[in-house]
Every structure is written in C-alpha cells, then in structure tokens.
Structure 1
Amino acid sequence: MAAGAPHPSLRDVVLRYEGFTVCGGGPATFREVACTFVPIIIDLDQGWSVAHREHIGSAPLRLRSFVAGLTDGPVLVGHAGSARCLQVDLTPLGARRVLGVPLSELANRSVPIEAVLGRGGADLVQRIGDAATWQERFALVDAALAARLADAGDIDAEVAWSLGRIVASGGTTAIGALATELGWSHRKFIARYRDTVGLPPKVVARIVRFERACARLREGAGPAAAAAECGYFDQAHLSRDVREFAGITPSELRDTVNSVQDPAG
C-alpha cells in the first residue's frame, strides 16, 4: 500500500491518492458501496471485472483503467488473482471540472479512462506505468490534474453552496428548502445536480447520510444508535438504506470500506 497527498492546490478537487499491489492470491471480488466521491482507477496489471446492478445475471464489464461516477447502489469489482493500480478519488465538483463532461453521463456507470480523458488518459496511464516509484506516480497525477484544471470552467457556485449545506447537515437538510433559498424550481434543482454531481440532490443527501452512518457503524455503534445519531426515523429505516446503497445488512457493512483493495464483500 502507498498513500499520496495531493498538491495543496488540489485540495478541493482530490480527496486522496492510493497505490497498491496484490499478488500471489486467488481471484477476489470487492463490494463498493454508494459514496460521494468519483474514483479514477489507473490499472497497471491485467484489469478488472466491474458489475453494476444492470449486470446482475449477466457478464460484468471487463475494464483496464477506468472512471466510475457516483452510484446509488453497490458495485462488485474483482481481479483474477493479482492487481496493481493507482486510485484517485475526486470530489464530485472537482470531477466535473477535471473530466469536463456532465456527471450524469457517468452516474451508475464505469467507463474506460480514454472515454473521458481521450488520448491524454491513455498517455497518463503509460507514463504512470513507466514511473519507478509511487511518489513519482502521484506527482504525475498532480501535474495531469493541474493541467486539466487550467483549461476547466468554474464550478457551479449554487450547486457548490447547496452541496456544502447538505454535507454540513450530514444529509438531513431539507432539499425543498434549499431550492427555495436558491429561487429554483424542483426540476431546475435536479437538472443542475445531475450535470454537476451526477445524481439528484435528494439522492445525494441520502448518500451523505448513509456515509455518516457507515462511519458510525465502523466505529462500533450499533444500528439503533447509528440510526438515531444520523437522522433516520428508526433502525428499520437505516436498514432499508443500507440494503439499497450497499446490498448488505448494517452488521455486514461494518467490514466493508470503499476501496478496491478491501476484503471481499
């Protein structure tokens, strides 16, 4: 495992860099649950199987380096027995600027990196693969993101403001009240969020609340206590959201963390 700190100028764009290598084991599958960040996986091995809800009962995607938008359900990611990759986790507002496409085009999808970043994405993968150390690789990502941001448009200020309110409230703020403060119709609010974040604001707020509940469960809180602390009506309400966003129970969720190197879900 290797962790990298993004350049300070990327503070509002990048949450973290992680690099890792796994070898000598058998095939493995990991459960990724709904979250509020946009991962870029730069593959340096033999690629991944990726199964969203639409792939249940059919063959998963086979991808090398890829970008995954926000999802409102679990995704199963696997490798054949070895893996080596660099993961870049972007904030949704940062992803909108870096990727340069409406994030609705990536919602509940994983796509090859070239589909979003074009030839530049393929070149970045090649240069990262040629680098000798993880720190060199993280520096290459810093430079690539800074270059894309230099030509990117500004963030949607109203969405940024309202998303800040949603996050600060732990996902419990009233979405209708935010729309009223902005002077937007419900339809406009949804459209702007789909473009900038990828999912409707109400769903985003539910995922923010779900992430907070995940953190409390992993800290040892029981489901009833986590539900009360995080703004759920009751434990059953929490269990329904966990089932929808993770596909498992609150007890099982304690051992599941969003990262492709986690134990099998």
Structure 2
Amino acid sequence: MTSGVAVGTPDPSLRAVVLRYEGFTSRGAPVTFRETAATFVPVIIDLDAGWTVSHRDDAPLRLRSFVAGLTAAPVLVGHGGSAHCLQIDLTPLGARRILGLPLCELANRSVPIEAVLGPAGAMLVQRIGETPRWQDRFALVDAMLMRRLSDAPDTDRGVAWSLARITASGGRAAIGPLAAELGWSHRRLISRYRDAVGLPPKTVARIVRFERAAERLRGGAELSAAAAECGYFDQAHLCREVRDLAGVTPAELRVNSVQDPAS
C-alpha cells in the first residue's frame, strides 16, 4: 500500500474560517476509517472514485465530493482501494458563512458538494482536478473561500462569544449562565446554535469536552486523570462518552489517530 499527505496553510485572512487543508493519496487495499465526532465541518474534494459514508442508523451513501456537518456520533468513511482528495476543515461559524445555509441542515449528515455550493462546487472540483500541484490547489481554495466571504453574512456575535467560552472551558461551561449573560432564553440560544453551528450548545460542549479528553489520552494521561481533568463524573462516564462519540474504547482511542481503520 502506498499513501501520501500534503498539508496546506490557509491564507492568514481565513484564520477564523478554515482550520487546515490536507491533500491525501492512497493506493492499496480497500479501507474504512472511523471518523470521531469533532467540532469542524469537513469539505472533501474527491479526485478519484468516491467514498462510502455511513452515519449511525442510516444506510451507507456513495458520494464523490461532499460536505459533512457536525455529528454527535462516529461516521464510517471508506474507499475501494484508491483515494485522491483534498480536505478543507472549516470552523462551524466559518462554514455557516461560506456555505450560506443553516448548519442544522447538515447536522449528522453528509451531502454532495453540489447540493450545498451548486455549480460553484462542481467548478471547484473540476479546477482542482486540472491543477497538478498541491500548493496551487490550496491557493485555488483560498481564492474561492475569500470570494464567498466577500458577500457572506456576518457571524452571529452571541453564538461566537458563547462558543469561545465553551471552547476555552474545554466544554465545561454551563449553558444556562451563558444564555443569561447574553440576555437570551435557553430556547433562543439553542435556536441560534442550530442555525450557526448545527447542533445544540449542550451537544457542542459535549464534543468539545470529548476532544479535550481524547487529546489528553493520546498524550499519555491515565484514564482517571483524563476523566477528572476534563470534567467527567468518573472513569465510567468518560468510557461511555468515548464509546458514543468515537465508537471505540479509551484504550483504542489512545493508540489510534482520529482516522482509525475500522475493525
């Protein structure tokens, strides 16, 4: 099996919108990866034969280039032995501006890129496929994102403020006091989050806390220490959350990457 990864650095003006660019090539046996719940919105530009994507309780989808919203469960993504793609990881608030639709329409779903970006999505795939060098491909993505931001709606400031508080606290910030500080009802906060992020704030906080715990486990922390430091009731609580959000045990999460070959 042969594989290669190319990493791109987004333009500094896109810092609040895009987290990373990554080019990926693989040739060999068919592979299925388990993608854990995460706080970013991936856009996959497929340059090969496409992907099989399976969300929990849904029938597998066969997709070429696609966009996936935030999910509160692991997702299985596989290829038939040959893969060549460019992945754009957007922040949720950046995705709301770039994609131009309420992110609740993408939550726990993966959809063809044309269903979100229309002809512009198909054109982007074509142009990237016609461009041989990864750095030139990343530059094309920079240009596309900056064009779409030029007339995109502003970020919801209340959601941005509260999301920053949730993230800074490692997912431990209480949702009720955040709504109170904004002068919003709990129902209004949930509605704003569904539009701007895709999932309710309590679910987002749960995923942020899981990401922090996963980072600690992969860094060598003991299960008990990770549970205490990240605000879980006990080790059993952390184990349940890892199983729900990653589909594996903490021990398996500790030794594998975010993209885990599914057993």
TM-score above 0.5: yes
Note if contact 1:31-1:256 (Cα within 8 Å) is conserved in structure 2.
Answer: no
**One-letter code of the match for 2:6?**
A
Provide the residue aligned with 2:38 in structure 1. 35
Query: How far 1:133 moved relative to its partner?
Result: 0.3
- Superposed, 1:105-120 pairs within 5 Å as 105-120=105-120
Displacement of 1:263: 3.7
Query: Is residue 32–residue 257 contact of structure 1 (8 Å, CA) maintained in 2?
Result: no
In 1, Cα distance between equivalents of 2:135 and 2:82: 21
Counterpart-to-counterpart distance in 2, 1:37 and 1:188? 23
Displacement, 1:258?
3.2
- Cα distance in 2, alignment partners of residues 110 and 103 from structure 1: 12
Query: Deviations for 1:145-168, whole angstroms, at most 9, x for unmatched residues?
Result: 000000101000000000000000
- Show the 5 A alignment for 1:14-33: 14-23=18-27, 25-33=28-36
- Offset of residue 184 of structure 1: 0.9
Find the residue that maps to 2:135 and give its secondary structure: helix
Residue of 8, 13, 19 corresponding to 1:9? 13
Contact 2:76 2:262 (C-alpha < 8 Å) held by counterparts:
no
Whole-angstrom distance in 2 between the partners of 1:154 and 1:254? 38
| CA distance in 1 between partners of 2:147 and 2:170 (Å) | 33
State the alpha-carbon separation in 2 of the partners of residues 109 and 33 from structure 1: 14
Tell me the TM-score normalized by structure 2.
0.96
| Structure 2, unpaired ranges of 5+ | none
Instruction: Give the match's secondary structure for 2:89.
Output: strand
> After the TM superposition, which segments of 4 or more aligned residues of structure 1 sit over 4 Å from their partners?
none
State the distance in 2 between where 1:221 and 1:28 align.
Answer: 29
Query: In the alignment, which residue of structure 1 is the partner of 2:103?
Result: 103
Q: Which amino acid aligns with 2:222?
A: G
- Name the CA distance, whole Å, in 2 between partners of 1:104 and 1:69: 8
Query: Does 2:127 correspond to 1:127?
Result: yes
Matched residue SS, 1:123: helix
The answer to whether the 8 A contact 1:17-1:138 is kept is yes
Alignment TM-score, normalising by the size of structure 1: 0.96
Residue 138 of structure 2 is matched in structure 1 by 138
- 2 CA distance for matches of 1:250 and 1:132? 40
Percent identical pairs in the alignment equals 73
Which 5+ residue runs of structure 1 have no aligned equivalent?
none
CA distance in 2, matches of 1:264, 1:140: 33
